[in-house]
């Protein structure tokens, strides 16, 4: 890869080519990073992803550089593996040290780098930036202290990272308003605008298949809302619940589904957590996707629900809670909203859609993708 046209992209990432090492990362973050890499490639840039993620295994693993494809590579660092608390703590210290050494050796003065915002970086990038004088585009997908309990020190680290950025990538205009206090250059990317290349094969039309996919976290409430909506749907509906959570979360979901099935005309099933390819094929058998997170939690004001774009990419119509980040986005006019966070209102929104193919989500995403490829070079130039 030529140095002149290579962008370094820092984030917690790993590839299927390296899955045997079982390094810890967020699949959602990986999907967004993959998409942004693909956009940069089409704009003429190669990408070197620099990832400090550590392994969940017990053995020591050496650092490596992987060639992902013709335009992208991945740099991973040594990790000590899991074990005692001391070993775990040393592993975290090692990954900070190795990342810092990498930045100091390989990132030049005035070089533009892309950083996926994470509390895991703490103040490392900011500290190295003051020494080396490089430029940072900070990709902020959410304000983490809205999603998880953070110490006052971690909250301070988070806001310092915002204040030290030179430009931003956000999933929503609302997040730009909250974070970008100095009106720095920014680019909106709601999520991955990639369209599935699997041919759409919906289930027979005697049933309308509705899917909820995502976390089983009761605080976010999405899975529970989707299940309870089944109480108010007629028997031509089949609601599928897919997702992830703790063992106790899964048990709770299965028990709730059983209770609702005893009282509802519609059918509700737990379909587990499917591998990526099987999940995409499954989506093509459904008609309506649910984004039913609780609109009252703080996270709803800052985190864009990427599942909406995933549903649209696979040809589904979308039902969502009326939250600002979605309603004011480029795809807001193509979503069926419900206003009251109640099972009855969710069911009414589902029934309003029925089997009417109101929106060609794939065409909408293709349009947004083409626009982004045009916008990206100008954004990079303004960020330097």
Task: List pLDDT tens digits, range 297-328.
Answer: 666 667 788 899 999 999 999 999 999 889 99
| 163: number of Cβ within 10 Å | 10
- Are 13 and 55 in contact by the 8 Å Cβ rule? The answer is no
Q: What is the pLDDT of residue 205?
A: 57
Q: Mind listing the pLDDT tens digit for each residue in 180-209?
A: 999 999 999 999 999 877 655 555 557 899
Q: Mind listing the pLDDT tens digit for each residue in 65-119?
A: 999 999 999 999 999 988 888 888 898 899 899 999 999 999 999 999 999 998 8
Q: What is the pLDDT of residue 147?
A: 62
pLDDT at 7 over 60: yes
- Residue that the structure tokens 């990079």 belong to: 380
Over residues 165-194, mean pLDDT:
94
pLDDT at 145 over 80: no
What percent of the chain clears pLDDT 70, i.e. is strictly above it? 92
Model confidence, pTM: 0.87
- Are 289 and 213 in contact by the 8 Å Cβ rule? The answer is yes
Angle among Cα 257, 261, 262 to the nearest 5 degrees reads 120
Over residues 122-127, mean pLDDT:
89
- Find residue 48's DSSP bridge partners: 8, 73
Q: Is 337 helix (H, G, I), strand (E, B) or coil?
A: strand
Pick from 119, 117, 120: nearest CA to 137: 117
Over residues 38-67, mean pLDDT:
95
Angle among Cα 291, 11, 107 to the nearest 5 degrees reads 150
Q: Mind listing the pLDDT tens digit for each residue in 203-232?
A: 555 789 999 998 887 777 889 999 999 999
Angle among Cα 26, 228, 362 to the nearest 5 degrees reads 50
pLDDT at 340 over 70: yes
Q: What fold characterizes domain 208-363?
A: Rossmann fold (3.40.50)
Split at pLDDT 50, 70, 90, the class of 1 is very low
Mean pLDDT of the chain: 89
Q: Is 266 helix (H, G, I), strand (E, B) or coil?
A: coil
């Amino acid at each position: 890869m030529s140095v002149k046209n290579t962008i370094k992209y820092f984030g917690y990432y790993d590839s299927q080519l390296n899955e045997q090492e079982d390094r810890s990362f967020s699949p959602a973050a990986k999907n967004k990073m993959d998409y942004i890499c693909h956009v940069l490639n089409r704009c003429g840039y190669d990408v070197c992803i620099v990832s400090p993620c550590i392994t969940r295994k017990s053995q020591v693993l050496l650092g490596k550089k992987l060639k992902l494809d013709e335009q992208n590579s991945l740099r991973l660092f040594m990790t000590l593996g899991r074990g005692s608390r001391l070993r775990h703590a040393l592993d975290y210290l090692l990954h900070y040290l190795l990342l810092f050494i990498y930045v100091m050796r390989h990132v030049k003065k005035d070089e533009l780098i892309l950083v996926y915002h994470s509390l895991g970086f703490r103040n490392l990038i900011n500290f190295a930036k003051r020494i080396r004088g490089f430029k940072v585009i900070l990709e902020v997908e959410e304000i983490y202290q809205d999603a998880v309990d953070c110490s006052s020190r971690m909250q301070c680290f988070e806001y310092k990272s915002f204040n030290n950025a030179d430009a931003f990538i956000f999933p929503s205009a609302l997040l730009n308003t909250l974070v970008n206090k100095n009106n720095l250059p920014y680019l909106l990317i709601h999520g991955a605008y990639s369209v599935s290349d699997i041919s759409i094969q919906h289930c027979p039309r005697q049933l309308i298949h509705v899917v909820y996919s995502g976390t089983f976290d009761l605080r976010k409430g999405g899975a529970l809302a989707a299940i309870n909506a089944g109480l108010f749907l007629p028997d031509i509906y089949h609601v599928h619940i897919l997702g992830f959570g703790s063992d106790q979360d899964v048990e709770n979901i299965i028990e709730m589904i059983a209770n609702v099935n005893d009282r509802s005309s519609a059918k509700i099933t737990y379909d587990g957590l499917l591998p990526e390819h099987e999940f995409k094929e499954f989506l093509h058998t459904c008609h309506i996707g649910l984004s039913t997170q609780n609109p009252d939690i703080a996270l709803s004001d800052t985190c864009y629900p990427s599942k909406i774009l995933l549903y649209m990419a696979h040809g589904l119509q979308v039902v969502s809670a009326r939250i600002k980040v979605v309603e004011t986005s480029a795809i807001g006019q193509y979503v069926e909203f419900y206003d009251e966070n109640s099972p009855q209102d969710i069911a009414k929104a589902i029934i309003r859609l029925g089997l009417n193919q109101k929106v060609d989500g794939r065409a909408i995403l293709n349009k947004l993708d083409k626009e982004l490829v045009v916008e990206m070079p100008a954004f990079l130039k303004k960020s330097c």
